Amino acid sequence: MAWQHWRWMAIASVIALFGLTACQQQEPWALDNITGLMPKLEFKLTNDNGQAVTADAYHGKLVLLYFGYTHCPDVCPTTLATLAQALRGLGTDADKVRVLFVSVDPARDTAPVLKSYAAAFGPQFVGLSGDKKALDALTRRYRVVYSLDKSDAQGNYAVNHSSGVFIFDGSGKARLLGSSSSKAAEISRDLRRLLASG
């Protein structure tokens, strides 16, 4: 009788374990999982202090890479505000994250402009840019496009840019892809999970 009890308990445990593992494997990320689908983080750009910088500078940090331009009144600040909110949700762990805002409008986005712009969203935000060659190398790497609209009479122009937020783990491996419509709470949850696994 006792032996039979043990046998059933063992079987139940095995089933429960399988169940748990299955659950863990199936728990989906809120953002798109791009692990293995996109190349690791690599670029040669200029940071908002005017210094040349590569992806190595952010080794060990979770990196959120977003393309835009500072003269963008709506989508860019909306996305960056959402990322700022997601980072606030991490508490002190927010320091383990860097948001790299890559301007695809280097003509207007000089280092000082980018610096004050990035700082307005939080200390984890960094503005980057570069010449067309450097920008194209990066945008091609992540298969995103950007283009400049024609200038109006006052010389103002809009820029069409990717709405994707590419997320890399501390080793620079591409992991997740969010967008300008991702919710702060979802991003926060996924970032916490990445921090816990790394």
What is the per-residue burial (b if ≥16 Cβ within 10 Å, else e) of 154-188?
eeeebbebbbbbbbbbbebebbbbbebebebeebb
**Least distance from C-beta 185 to other proteins, angstroms?**
13
Report the C-alpha gap between 69 and 170 in whole angstroms.
26
Residue type, 89: G
Report the C-alpha gap between 42 and 157 in whole angstroms.
29
**Least distance from C-beta 153 to other proteins, angstroms?**
11
Identify the bridge partners of residue 177 per DSSP, sorted by sequence position: 32, 166
Binding positions for other proteins, rule: CB under 8 A: 68, 70-75, 77-78, 80-82, 84-85, 113, 116-117, 119-122, 144-146, 149, 154, 156, 158, 160-164, 179-181
* Minimum CB distance to other proteins smaller for 33 or for 160: 160
Longest dimension (CA), the chain: 91
* Minimum CB distance to other proteins smaller for 57 or for 144: 144
* Minimum CB distance to other proteins smaller for 27 or for 152: 152
**Least distance from C-beta 69 to other proteins, angstroms?**
10
Q: Are 30 and 186 in contact (CB under 8 A)?
A: yes
**Least distance from C-beta 138 to other proteins, angstroms?**
16
* Minimum CB distance to other proteins smaller for 27 or for 74: 74
**Least distance from C-beta 156 to other proteins, angstroms?**
7
* Minimum CB distance to other proteins smaller for 57 or for 113: 113
Report the C-alpha gap between 193 and 27 in whole angstroms.
11
* Minimum CB distance to other proteins smaller for 47 or for 82: 82
**Least distance from C-beta 192 to other proteins, angstroms?**
19
Report the C-alpha gap between 145 and 67 in whole angstroms.
10
